[in-house]
Amino acid sequence: MAKPTPKKKSNTAFLAVILVVLVAGGAAIWTTMNKSKPIPTELAAGTPLPEAQGYLRGDPNAPITIIEFADFECPGCGSFAAVQEPDLRKRVIDAGLANFRFYDFPLTSIHRNTLAAHLAASCANEQGKFWEFHDMLFEGQYDWNSQATGNPRKVFDGYVSKLGLDAAKFGECYDSQRNLAQIQANAAAGSERGVNSTPTIIIGNKVYSPAPTADQLKAIVDSMRAALPAAVAAPAGDAAKK
């Protein structure tokens, strides 16, 4: 009696199916591991928010504070940071005439990547590099904004490397999104004060939108300081010399 012919074709087909399953499974795992976690646009309803803080630059005891509510993906904010802020820092903030406080105001309805940028900046702040990261975000806005990429994290990681930040700590902070509540608290403070566009500048009880130029801000600060008692108006450096 003739021996039955081995079912080579069936075995080959079976092995091919197993191989496809393994490859597909491995690809799915790799994609899951390498896919950036989604960035939420809001916290769950009822989530308590901390007190708004913002990010301070300059003498904390300065008698005048210039407040900016800004969106990192906002072109107007990028222009203010590039054109007006360098002069403002030199002539007003670093001179001790006033301090400057940046508040998050991400316009997530029109800027898809902005909340990711605000989260990244908050993580740089944990390592003492908020203002350096702030400057890089605005300088490189067209590298990471919604029109440029769907994965801004790659660009942010480049900033982390350039600034010498601890990449592991930055990544853990960014992925955990633990500063999201603080960012939204900062934005809520702006909404409470009538902010609805960026950049908006607030000095004392006056709201300026669009933002004034550096020259205009210097004039405003000088006028306010002229109305203060001499001892209060003196910059910290001048007071120390007396």
Query: At 61, which CATH number?
Result: 3.40.30.10
Residue 236 has pLDDT above 70, yes or no: no
At 206-218, the pLDDT tens digits run 999 999 999 999 9
Residue 40, pLDDT score: 57
Residue 230, pLDDT score: 79
When pLDDT is cut at 50, 70 and 90, the band that residue 10 belongs to is low
Give a yes or no: residue 202 inside a domain.
yes
What span, in angstroms and rounded, lies between the C-alpha atoms of 143 and 145? 6
Give a yes or no: residue 145 inside a domain.
yes
Domain count, the chain: 1
For residue 209 the two structure tokens come to 């939108």
Residue 241 has pLDDT above 60, yes or no: no
Q: Which amino acid is at 48?
A: P
* Helical (H) or strand (E) element with 113: none
The domain in which residue 126 lies consists of 55-230
At 103-128, the pLDDT tens digits run 999 999 999 999 999 999 999 999 99
Q: How many helices (H) and strands (E) does the chain have?
A: 12, 5
Q: Which of 203, 217, 207, 230 is nearest to 90 (CA)?
A: 217
Give a yes or no: residue 25 inside a domain.
no
Residue 208, SS3 per DSSP: strand
How far from the centroid of its chain's Cα atoms is residue 122's Cα?
6
Give a yes or no: residue 223 inside a domain.
yes
What span, in angstroms and rounded, lies between the C-alpha atoms of 59 and 144? 32
Give a yes or no: residue 19 inside a domain.
no
What span, in angstroms and rounded, lies between the C-alpha atoms of 134 and 101? 12
Contact 39, 74 (CB under 8 A): no
